[in-house]
Structure formats: C-alpha cells, structure tokens
Amino acid sequence: MENLNIHKTAVVDRAAKLSPGVSVGPYSIIDGGVTIGDNVRIGAHCVITGQTTIGRNCKIYTGAVIGSAPQDRKFSADDNVFLNIGENNIIREYVTMNPGTLEGGSKTVVGNDNLIMAYSHVAHDCVIGNNCVMANAATLAGHVTLEDSAVVGGLSAVHQFVRVGRLSIVGGCSKVVQDIPPFSMSDGHPAQVHGLNLVGLRRAHFMKETIKSLKHAFKILFFSGLAKTHALEQIVSEIPSSPEIEHLVFFAKTSERGLCS
C-alpha cells in the first residue's frame, strides 16, 4: 500500500492489485480480483469488483459501479469473465459497467481516452474504442460496438449487437436499433441518418477532398433510392478510393442488423 492514498473508510481487499499513485475515496470498495494502474483516482462510494482491470490515469467519480455481474439470465457466478478498461478514461457519477459473458467471448473492453458521463451504462460484451463520448444516461445493451470517436447523445439507448461507426454522432433521446454508419449524424426514434457529421470531421482535421468524397458517398448510399448492394457498387466505381471510403463500404457490407435508413 506504499504510495497510495486510501481513505480510512474505504474497503480494499488485500488481493487487489493497486499501482503507485492510486487514490480511493471514502466508503469505496475494491474487491480482490481487481487490478488498477498508476495514478487512477477513485471517488467516494464506488464499487470496483469482478475480474476488472483499469489502466493508468483513469478518473472514476462518485457512486460508479464497475465490474458487477452482467444483467444476463445465462450468467453464473462461477463464470470466468472480464472487464478491461484502458487508460485516461473519465467515468462520471453512477456509471455502471459489466464484464462479458461466456457466450459473448468473456470480455467487455473499453479503450483509451473515453468520456463516459453520469448514469451511463455499458452492458456485457460491449467493445468501446478510443476517444468516444457517452453523454448522460446513454445506454449500451449487450454486444454493442462503438468505433473510435463515436458520440452517443444523452438518454439514448443502443440495441444489442448494434455497431456505432467511427466519428459518428447520435442525437440525444434516440432509439438506435440498426447500425450507425461511420462519419454520420443520426437522430430519432428510431434513429435515422441525417447526413455527414461535418463538425466532427472538421474537428478531426479531415481534408476537404475527403469530406467531399464522403458527401458524394452518403448521397449515393442514403439518398439515391438505390438498394444497398447497388449503391455500394456505384460508390466503389465512381469515387476514388481512400481509407475513409473503404471503411464506409466495409462497414455497410458487414452490417448484420442493417444500416439506419
């Protein structure tokens, strides 16, 4: 416990692995299967449990419950499942995150530099990339994927097995039941695509030519009236290849739940 700042009312299992610089606030509980990296700050009344790993420099605020059992009827207390959280994440008040399930691959994975705002929920077997934002009370059902730099608006719910593409933004209070394409702006109940996430693309310093190509691709894919297969063929034949166009086409081709309309 050297170089640690643990409040006298906190309960830390001796089997827990805490790195230098970790601080634990009043009345928080750290169970034995937990591993916490350098300089992680844990606020008051938090519970960190299960086989949970937290990378360095994360900040976890009051009342968060991290690593509690999946809300899945098939889960057994004997299942060997994990929650892996990367570095530099901000996890705000009363966030809940669950580990994976045996059926889903046994892991829930959260990348680096994410902002998970108050009351949000990350269910079992989710995969969150890097630089994502979940606004207040956003909810991910099981097996959801957020690609890098995706934003999910407050009070929005994402259906199980849905993917939210890279640099897309989902408006607040949306009901997301199909895949959200990369680089898109979506909103509604159910969510629908309204065009490119131009603000996000410019903030990410995308070149004008890349944005122009994506605008053309979106016009073909969502506003031409073509079936998805034919639209993708037209995109490939008409628009010069780039990593962004290739990712959009691959995402659309591999969609199992279908793209938001």
Judge contact between 165 and 181, C-beta under 8 A.
yes
> 90-91 and 115-116: which strand pairing?
parallel
> What are the beta bridge partners of residue 157?
139, 175
State how far the Cα of 77 lies from the Cα of 65, in Å rounded to an integer.
17
C-alpha to C-alpha distance for 106 and 140, rounded to whole angstroms:
17
Cβ–Cβ contacts within 10 Å for residue 74, how many? 11
Catalytic residue among 86, 111, 142, 200: 142
Type of residue at 57: N
113 is catalytic: no
Q: Which amino acid is at 140?
A: L
Q: Which of 122, 101, 96, 102 is CA-nearest to residue 111?
A: 122
Known active-site residue 38: no
Instruction: Note if 124 is an active site residue.
Output: yes
Four-point Cα dihedral 226, 152, 144, 124, nearest 10: -170
Selecting among 121, 124, 143, 159, the annotated active-site residue is 124
SS3 category, 211: helix
Among 125, 148, 179, 187, which one carries the catalytic annotation? 125
Catalytic residue positions, numbered: 124-125, 142
